[in-house]
Chains A and B, each alone.
Chain A
């Protein structure tokens, strides 16, 4: 009997291992689709670059103007799971991504897999970038090819066990990697649809503005409802029309904020939103208006962060 039980235990452990192996495996983009992707246009790619906010984390912190195109990394992104160090994604052949072909780049951006066959941490917002068109990714690739090479390697992420086991990120992806559109907007105009693409895809607004569960999965039922600040004290605001959110703002005021960072009550936004404004000031008026139209069209939620955050 005990022998039988032991055999069953071994079998179950083996089965469990198989399931773990299967669940946490790497999943790549369809190679046929990748070959069929249009050759990128670097001029359009620059706009995608600003929409996607690459410079927010990968430019040298506090750099301005042209310096924001030097993607040597260095920003430390604090999180409840540990400290992430944004890597060098400049065109340096050795320290950056200068040697990457398009397939490698697209698989990193849209499936969170590295050229060495490892999972990336979702601090790199590939779960949002997965919603981008391959054409936009191709344009972005073409633009990034025009950027300077900067030497220098950033330190490894500083994460405690068990978050330092990359293989387990396959489990995170299994649970939370959902490249489908987040919200359904019945009868949404073309403008709203464009805004949906920008917010849910390249803009990756939900990465900070949507609350997360204990293992870092976004609570999609509270999409853009605001969250506790993952980087420390305070909150990230609710940008839905619900209580505590931006319901009283006009579309024009929302679009204007994305250009100059000024709120309707004449405040100037701060924190990591400062870098977002620096990016989005390069984006077209139409696209900023589309984001505003989408934010006005999505389901309204009350604040996605606990009230205690207020008196901390």
Chain B
């Protein structure tokens, strides 16, 4: 058993630091789902007034979102050739990698700014949430397609 855990740790150490073995499509899908869950599943109901505002919980969610979006490593997650298969990434990503990278950087900057702003009431959260969530639609408008 101990052996087993040790080998798992070893494996995750090796594979975790070696993106060459990873599946970039699965990784980016998981990351996007995580972002959506924190932003729209966690913060969304608070912004809509469906869940109470609790400053500590809200800022913990913003911190978690920050950790998540910082994992958005464009070169590793969107390598050349990963535009085919079970992906809804638009070919426009690779046609305009500079624009796509800038959009990812803007998302990271906006989330980091929200963490720094440390919102203490609902109105302050709404401002930050509005800025952050705009990134999602704006990026999907250009860089994502829908599949059946």
Interface residues of A (CB under 8 A from B): 226, 229, 232-238, 244, 260-262, 265-272, 274-275, 277, 303, 305, 307, 309-312
Contacts and interface: CB of A to CB of B under 8 A. Distances in A.
Interface string B30-65: 000100110111001000000000000000000000
Contact of A236 (B44, B85, B146): B146
Contacts of B41: 266
A307 B148 contact: yes
A246 to B, nearest CB: 13
Give the top 8 A-B pairs by smallest Cβ distance, nearest first: A270-B140, A234-B145, A268-B136, A266-B36, A274-B141, A266-B40, A270-B144, A266-B41
Interface of B: 33, 36-37, 39-41, 44, 85-86, 88, 90-91, 133, 136-148
Contacts of B36: 265-268
Dominant secondary structure of chain B at its interface with chain A: helix
A261 B141 CA distance: 11
Most B CB atoms within 10 A — which of A268, A274, A307? A268
Given A236-B146, A260-B133, A274-B137, 5 more contacts: A260-B44, A266-B37, A271-B141, A271-B144, A272-B141
B107 to A, nearest CB: 12
Contacts of A311: 85-86
Contacts of A262: 40, 44
B40 A268 contact: yes
A229 B148 contact: no
Given A233-B90, A262-B40, A270 B148 contact: no
B140 A310 contact: no
Contacts of A238: 148
28 contacts: A232-B145, A233-B90, A234-B90, A234-B147, A235-B147, A235-B148, A237-B146, A260-B133, A265-B36, A266-B36, A266-B37, A266-B39, A266-B41, A267-B36, A267-B40, A268-B136, A270-B139, A270-B146, A271-B144, A271-B146, A274-B137, A274-B140, A274-B141, A303-B148, A309-B148, A310-B147, A311-B85, A311-B86
Nearest to A270: B140
Contact of B91 (A233, A244, A269, A303): A233
B108 to A, nearest CB: 17
Contacts of B88: 234
B96 to A, nearest CB: 13
A170 to B, nearest CB: 34
Contacts of A268: 36, 40, 133, 136-137, 140
B137 A277 contact: yes
A309 B147 contact: yes
B68 to A, nearest CB: 13
